[in-house]
Structure 1
């Protein structure tokens, strides 16, 4: 087993990777917002159209793209195993299907957590 076997689409670690990515995004997003507001707050009169909100939303879009890519990869992996009927393959296929759904849930949660930067002024 190689060092990167945990990254294979059928490995059980894929069941938690999406939410680990989401939690790192959440901590970086709101921790970064707090630090930026303390160190270099943008002009309050500009509303949500600031460099800080733009950067945070760009970061959010990158994380969403990563989660959607991982969901797509897991889904394709499951589709490639559809014809196999071995018990070991069935477990990998189950992990792949569940991780696909969990990646999509993490992507939706990331979008929901990132949308406020489009309408709310930072640091107010």
Structure 2
């Protein structure tokens, strides 16, 4: 159990890849969901960008971006408390989580602002 808890600390090197892996899962999930929803029950084109589909995918994107921001903040706090290699891992993982948050915002903007299923 202690080994499992140690992996969740921001000083563990696994956090160097977790942020980008989670971002890729978000990207594949959101755009796959958009494609499936457009194939099964597309919203009317005259609805524009204000559809339930866009709201749902925008909500998932917002929650994901906030989650990445919280993880980045946690990594920054852990970096302040450590030295050496642990500080490096926490700092780099915090920046990667922040980069992933900006990636969610950047890739999620078309979902919110463009009518789906065009």
Does the pair score TM above 0.5?
A: yes
Provide the residue aligned with 1:79 in structure 2.
80
Rounded Cα–Cα distance in structure 1 between residues aligned with 2:56 and 2:106? 16
Provide the residue aligned with 1:85 in structure 2.
none
Q: How does 1:1-124 map to 2 (within 5 A)?
A: 1-81=2-82, 89-124=83-118
Provide the residue aligned with 1:84 in structure 2.
none
TM-score, structure 2 normalization: 0.94
Structure 2, unaligned stretches of length 5 or more? none
Considering only aligned residues, what root-mean-square deviation do their CA atoms show, in Å? 1.0
TM-score, structure 1 normalization: 0.90
Greater C-alpha Rg: 1
Q: How far off its partner does 1:75 sit? A: 0.4
Moved beyond 4 Å, runs of 4+: none
Q: How far off its partner does 1:103 sit? A: 0.7
Rounded Cα–Cα distance in structure 1 between residues aligned with 2:112 and 2:56? 11
Cα deviations by residue, 1:13-50 (Å, 9 ceiling, x for unpaired): 00011101100000001000000011111111111000
Rounded Cα–Cα distance in structure 2 between residues aligned with 1:63 and 1:115? 13
The alignment of Structure 1 onto Structure 2 pairs a total of residues equal to 117
